[in-house]
A = this chain, B = another copy of it.
Amino acid sequence: MNPVLVLFSSMSTGSETDIPDSAAGSAADPTPDSTDGVLAEQLLRLTRRLHRIQKRHMEPLGITPAQGRLLRLVAHYGGDRPPRMADLATRLEVVPRAVTTLVDGLEAAGCVRRAPDPANRRVIRIELTETGRATLRRLRSARTDAAEEILAPLTAPQREVLGGLLNALADAPAQGGC
A152–chain B nearest beta-carbon distance, Å: 6
A161–chain B nearest beta-carbon distance, Å: 6
The prevalent SS among residues of A at the interface is: helix
Kindly identify which residue among B3, B11, B46, B69 contacts A43, using a CB–CB cutoff of 8 Å. Answer: B46
Given contacts A11-B164, A161-B8, contact A151 B171 (CB under 8 A): no
Interface flags for A155-166 (1: CB within 8 Å of B; 0: not) read 000111111111
A165 to B161, CA, bound (A): 9
Question: Which B residues touch A150, using CB under 8 A?
Answer: 40, 169, 172
A174–chain B nearest beta-carbon distance, Å: 7
User: Which chain A residues have a beta carbon within 8 Å of chain B's beta carbons?
Assistant: 1-17, 19-21, 23-26, 31, 33-51, 53-54, 56, 65, 69, 72-73, 75-79, 91, 93, 128, 133, 136-137, 140-141, 143-144, 146-154, 158-172, 174-176
Question: Which B residues touch A159, using CB under 8 A?
Answer: 35-36, 39
The listed residue with most B CB atoms (<10 A of its CB), out of A21, A24, A78, A148, is: A24
Kindly identify which residue among B9, B12, B53, B175 contacts A163, using a CB–CB cutoff of 8 Å. Answer: B12
Q: A37-B147, A162-B162 are in contact. List 11 more A-B contacts (CB 8 A).
A: A1-B9, A3-B8, A8-B164, A11-B161, A11-B165, A20-B76, A23-B75, A48-B93, A152-B175, A154-B169, A158-B168
